[in-house]
A and B are shown apart, each in its own frame.
Chain A
Amino acid sequence: MPYSPLLVKPMREELTLVGFEELMTAEAVDQWMDDHKGTSLLIVNSVCGCAAGMARPGVRLSLENDKKPDRLVTVFAGQDVEATAQARSKFAQIPPSSPSMAMFKDDELVFFLPRHRIEGRSAEDVAADLRAAYDEHC
């Protein structure tokens, strides 16, 4: 059963307040993939404090970088179910996990950070992985 929208709202805002666009339907996900050129960072958001507690601060911190993705988008696992499934279909060869982070360059997946490489790490460590990806691909 999905968590209350009231509980989830601040978790959504941690990303939207730094420029992430929420993709809340499968159609919005497809539109994003069809439209986007250059680099996009997709965050699969999650309520789980064990991993997502440091994922969102890590993402925010990573954006304090000279190079960064052209477009920032997010889906919320367990909340926006269809949108999340559609987003995961773009990298179906990778096991689903949340939170997780995917970076695309044009149509190609160039970076993926699964949940188990976020769990228990600091925001600074997560940000360092993302910055390295930005520096390489953006």
Chain B
Amino acid sequence: MGTFHSNKHQLHGITVVVDTDGPEVFVGRCDDMDDSQVILLDVDVHKDGDDGRSKADYLAGAALYGVFKKHQRLVVDRRRVTAVRRLSEIAS
């Protein structure tokens, strides 16, 4: 039992990794997604090399217990997105 939102993308409510063709990778809860954008809630952003960590290093840490959010809501242009996958699919 819970609240559901059947009019949203199938990844609605799921914590996802949104990778881009640039240095940024985003981790957040997918609110919705279509051909033009990915809408994320409670989002953290990592830039490749920040704090001496690659995207892979950062994601390995995120996969353990999640991320501290930097943004309440963030919209990512779909043209920049190279992959969207569940955080739970990342091996920690």
Residues in B with CB closer than 8 Å to A49 are 1-4, 13
With the chains together, A26 CA to B42 CA distance in Å? 24
Decide if B66 touches A115 in the complex (CB within 8 Å): yes
Q: Are B1 and A53 within 8 A (Cβ)?
A: yes
Task: Report B10 CB to chain A, min CB distance, Å.
Answer: 10
Which of under 10, 10 to 19, 20 to 34, or 35 or more describes the interface residues of A? 20 to 34
Chain B residues 1 to 59 lying within 8 A of chain A, measured CB to CB, are: 1-4, 12-15
Contacts of B82 in A (CB 8 A): none
A10 within 8 A of B: yes
Query: Is A116 in contact with B3, judged by CB distance below 8 angstroms?
Result: no
Q: How far is the CB of B78 from chain A (nearest CB, A)?
A: 22
Per-residue CB contact flags for chain A residues 111-138 toward chain B (1 = under 8 Å, else 0) read 0101111011100000000000000000
Whether A11 and B2, one on each chain, are in contact in the complex, defined by CB atoms closer than 8 angstroms, is yes
Q: Which residues of A contact B67 (CB under 8 A)?
A: 95
CB <8 Å contact, A53 and B15? no
Q: Which residues of B contact A94 (CB under 8 A)?
A: 65-66
Q: Is the CB of B15 within 8 A of A119?
A: yes
- For A50, the chain B residues whose CB sits under 8 A away are 2, 4, 12-14
> Which residues from chain A sit less than 8 Å from chain B, CB to CB?
3, 10-11, 14, 46-53, 56, 94-95, 97, 112, 114-117, 119-121
User: What are 8 A-to-B residue pairs whose CB atoms are below 8 Å?
Assistant: A46-B2, A48-B13, A49-B3, A50-B13, A53-B2, A53-B4, A95-B67, A117-B88
Counting from the closest, the 9 A-B pairs by CB-CB distance are A50-B13, A49-B2, A116-B15, A49-B4, A53-B2, A95-B66, A116-B87, A114-B66, A94-B65
Identify 15 new A-B residue pairs, CB closer than 8 A, beyond the known A47-B2, A48-B13, A115-B66: A3-B3, A11-B1, A14-B1, A49-B13, A50-B4, A50-B12, A53-B1, A56-B1, A94-B66, A95-B67, A95-B68, A116-B15, A116-B86, A116-B88, A119-B13
